[in-house]
Amino acid sequence: MKRHKRALLGIAVACVVIAVLIAIPIVRVERGCFAAAASPVRTASAFGIADQGYTRAEGDSFLSYPEWYIVHAYADLAGVTAQSSESAFDYLASIRGFWSSLCRASATASRIGPVTSDQKTTNYVIGVSFTAEMALQGLYERTVGALTARLRGERKTAEDAFNVRLLQDYAAFLQQTPWYEYPFGAELKRFWRETPFHLSLRSLDRRFALTLQYGVKSAYAAVIRFAAGYAPADLRIRSVVVGFDPAAREGDGEIKIIKDVVARDGTRARLIETPRYQAFTEIIRQFGGRGVAFYEIAGNDRILTTVLIPPGTALSPQQAVEIFSIPIQSRPGWRRVGYDTAVTALAAQVGAVEREGASFEHAYDY
């Protein structure tokens, strides 16, 4: 009986410790990451667009970054793994980067506003999950994984090569599709079916680590996929643009013209509908090369963008304010810089930063 009581007490203490560890970063963001003064909030489209579902919470552009931070983190992990091994990745730095960028994004969103409770909840859920995953994976890779990688030498095993390919594929997949849609189970079966085995400590280690990692992800993804089915993401977004010529729409099959609109100051423009996520960023890139300008996106005039900046380069994009700067592990010296950008300057920002040697990465739609 006493043994059972001690076991229950141990479980209770562990639960309390875990709850406290989870609460610490969330409380820090909620209590310390806000702007001193709020900007005026737009309550209506400047073009009088009242279509249902058009206007979205402006602060959500900035609070959508943490979801994409995880996408970028996996791309960074894939790059480091291809260059060396999983054990060379700084997992703690990746965790710190998530929460620090969430803090900066939250402060900007609190100034610009409004934000939705769903987006904030999503950020905390994925933040806790990401932190736990990176912490556990880092603990293993920095100890057992580092040892077997050192014994292996520079030549990768077949298991290493498989994981490099999978990480690169997963990073590309995340650009347009939610993580839980990735076929972890099918890839794990393929891993065991197609990867030749040669007896070594590194091969045994990788088979254990990758089976555990992707097996757990497959099960967790199934749960999240089931839950997400109740509230599927909206995959389209509407924007007001000027200079869009319907006669020059080669390759623009996913762009739909909704109607012509006129602003209160007499500006004539077009309301269009496009895909979201990475496809939207590519459309912005195309528009910048054609002289097309955005006037509103989902009823808003501010948006978060990120730019990849090489060593020794200083940028000051017009109508943009730097929010955060995060080092990229797989590209030493490079930084990922987030900007609070005026929507009217969005399309032109692409060409402007790339002429300076930087790379426009993403626009975070609402």
pLDDT tens digits for 86-96? 999 999 999 99
Answer yes or no: pTM beyond 0.75.
Answer: yes
Distance of alpha carbon 200 from alpha carbon 152, whole angstroms = 8
Arithmetic mean of pLDDT, 307-334: 95
pLDDT number for residue 254: 86
What band does 32 get if pLDDT is binned at 50, 70 and 90?
confident
Question: What rounded mean pLDDT belongs to the chain?
Answer: 89
* Residue 254: half-sphere exposure toward Cβ, Cα within 13 Å: 12
Which is more confident, 27 or 169?
Answer: 169
Specify the 3-state DSSP secondary structure of 237.
Answer: strand
pLDDT number for residue 234: 81
pLDDT number for residue 150: 95
All residues at 6 or more sequence positions from 366 whose CB lies less than 8 Å from its CB, including other chains: 56, 57, 58, 60, 61, 64, 237, 297, 298, 300, 303
Distance of alpha carbon 298 from alpha carbon 355, whole angstroms = 29
Rg of the chain taking only CA atoms, in angstroms: 23
Specify the 3-state DSSP secondary structure of 273.
Answer: strand
Please return the burial class of 94, using the count of CB atoms within 10 Å of its CB with bins 0-12, 13-18 and 19+.
buried
pLDDT number for residue 245: 80
pLDDT number for residue 230: 58
Arithmetic mean of pLDDT, 29-44: 71
* Residue 298: half-sphere exposure toward Cβ, Cα within 13 Å: 21
Helix 158-173 vs helix 201-228: crossing angle, to nearest 10: 20
- Examine the pLDDT at 6 and tell me if it is beyond 90: no
Distance of alpha carbon 347 from alpha carbon 352, whole angstroms = 9
Arithmetic mean of pLDDT, 174-193: 93
Q: What are phi and psi of 275, to 5 degrees?
A: -70, 165
**Percent of the chain, pLDDT > 70?**
88
pLDDT number for residue 229: 64
Please return the burial class of 149, using the count of CB atoms within 10 Å of its CB with bins 0-12, 13-18 and 19+.
buried
Arithmetic mean of pLDDT, 65-69: 93
- For the segment 216-270, what is each residue's pLDDT rounded down to a tens digit? 999 999 988 887 665 667 889 999 999 988 766 545 668 999 999 998 888 899 9
pLDDT number for residue 225: 84
What band does 39 get if pLDDT is binned at 50, 70 and 90?
low
Arithmetic mean of pLDDT, 126-150: 95
| One-letter identity of residue 228 | A
- Examine the pLDDT at 13 and tell me if it is beyond 70: no
327-356 residues labelled b (16+ CB within 10 A) or e (exposed):
ebbbbeebbbbbbbbbbebbbbbbebbeee
pLDDT number for residue 159: 97
What band does 14 get if pLDDT is binned at 50, 70 and 90?
low
Distance of alpha carbon 75 from alpha carbon 164, whole angstroms = 11
- Examine the pLDDT at 289 and tell me if it is beyond 60: yes
| One-letter identity of residue 180 | Y
112 token code pair: 């610009």
Distance of alpha carbon 70 from alpha carbon 174, whole angstroms = 9
- For the segment 346-360, what is each residue's pLDDT rounded down to a tens digit? 999 999 999 999 999
What band does 144 get if pLDDT is binned at 50, 70 and 90?
very high
Distance of alpha carbon 228 from alpha carbon 345, whole angstroms = 34
What band does 15 get if pLDDT is binned at 50, 70 and 90?
low
Total residue count of the chain as it appears in this document:
366
Q: What are phi and psi of 250, to 5 degrees?
A: -55, 125
Say if residue 66 is preceded by a cis peptide, omega within 30 of 0.
no
- Examine the pLDDT at 37 and tell me if it is beyond 80: no
pLDDT number for residue 28: 86
